[in-house]
Amino acid sequence: MLETIPNPVKEEVLLLNEDLPVMIDSGSQKDPKTDKQLKGFALAIIGATLWGVSGTFGQFLFQQRGVNVEWLITVRMLVSGGILLLFSFSRDSQRTISIVKNKKDFLKLVIFGITGMVTVQYTYFAAVKHSNAATATILQFAGPVLIAIYLALKNRRWPRWVEVLAIGLAVFGTFLLVTHGDVGTLSISKTAFIMGIASAVALAIYTLQPISLLKKYDSGTVVGWGMLIGGIAFSFIRAPWQVAGVWDSYSFISAAFIIVFGTLIAFYTYLTAVKLIGGQKTSLLASAEPLSATLLSVLWLKVPFHTIDWVGSLCIISTVFILSRKEKK
């Protein structure tokens, strides 16, 4: 999920340099720059793919094993947040703690954890439960378009032509995806549609709100504290010991995948890719997320995905490539 860690990590691309210095080994015949780019491409695709696959595992748990959405979100945030903080603490304990000692920053952190972290995960997984991972992930991909609209309004300027094109494609793609071209019907439930659009809005808030924190602190620290705070807050909605559903080997494997691979490893690989090849290229490769969610949903869970669904999905996903286009002076 572009959630899925999806996120301040992606916003941090604005803070990183596209070209990082490379140490050249004169004794090696390989081009270090090429190796760095290949490694970055691979890690970006792996991270995005893991996010998409974790959404499909979530669909399996919700629809075929009766696992509670709120419970999974609580456990995922508590476990992942705790491990991320331990990792950050081992690297820089003083800086990891300093963010909670600063009252102003801690307040921002609490707001991020509750309104950003909890909201983006709940709306996404709720959309998965009431539709499927493919539809939920693609609808959430409209988030970057909402960010473009917000920034245009905030800066009191007309959207650029590429932004207008992206908005038009996002609206048209969403229309095809949820109606199959028939204005009078919905191909998904109203709850799924509302939650899918809400997840896109939540993603935009989740991406923009912690920018000031990311300028001062490591992204692992911000995301780790955000997850832990969000998990503690959401425990009052669904406590981690209130387990529901059918738990067999498939259930445990799916839940473990979502927590370990879909959160921790996906976060680490994506952030490493940003450092190796820069934010713009990494964001483009993130389109592997909805693609992997769609393919796995169709092949494994037998989710019906028609030609018009693929056309609508392509329209929405293409907005990421359009918005990443550098404006010529």
Of 166, 135, 133, 138, residue with least CA distance to 152:
166
C-alpha 104/C-alpha 107 separation (Å) is: 5
The counts of H helices and E strands in the chain are: 17, 0
Split at pLDDT 50, 70, 90, the class of 30 is: low
pLDDT at 29 over 60: no
More confident residue, 18 or 132: 132
| DSSP code of residue 27 | T
d(CA 51, CA 128): 13
3-class SS of residue 227: helix
CA distance 137 to 177: 12
> Would you say residue 324 has pLDDT above 90?
no
What region does 245 belong to: left with phi over 0, alpha with psi -120 to 50, or beta?
left
* pLDDT of 283: 64
Chain segment 60-96, per-residue pLDDT in tens: 999 999 999 999 999 999 998 999 899 888 888 888 8
State what percent of residues in the chain have pLDDT above 70: 84
Q: Are the C-beta atoms of residues 84 and 264 closer than 8 Å to each other?
A: yes
Name the pTM for this structure. 0.78
- Cβ atoms of residues 27 and 144 within 8 Å: no
| Residue 167 confidence class, pLDDT cut points 50, 70, 90 | confident
Q: Show the tokens assigned to 6.
A: 């999806």
pLDDT 10s digits, 209-223: 887 887 888 877 888
pLDDT in tens, 168-181: 888 888 888 877 77
Residue 260 banded pLDDT, cuts 50, 70, 90: confident
The token pair at 51 is: 């996010």
Question: Which residues, other chains included, contact 233 with Cβ-Cβ below 8 Å and sequence gap of 6+?
Answer: 113, 114, 118
Residue corresponding to tokens 């439930």: 189
Summarised one tens digit per residue, pLDDT across range 34-47 is 777 888 888 888 88
Instruction: Count Cβ atoms below 10 Å from residue 324 Cβ, excluding itself.
Output: 16
pLDDT at 5 over 70: no
The structure tokens listed for 177 are 């995806």
Q: Where are the domains of the chain?
A: 64-254+298-322
Residue 297 has pLDDT above 50, yes or no: yes
Q: Is the dihedral of CA 218, 221, 224, 230 positive or negative?
A: negative
Provide the percentage of residues in the chain whose pLDDT is more than 90: 22
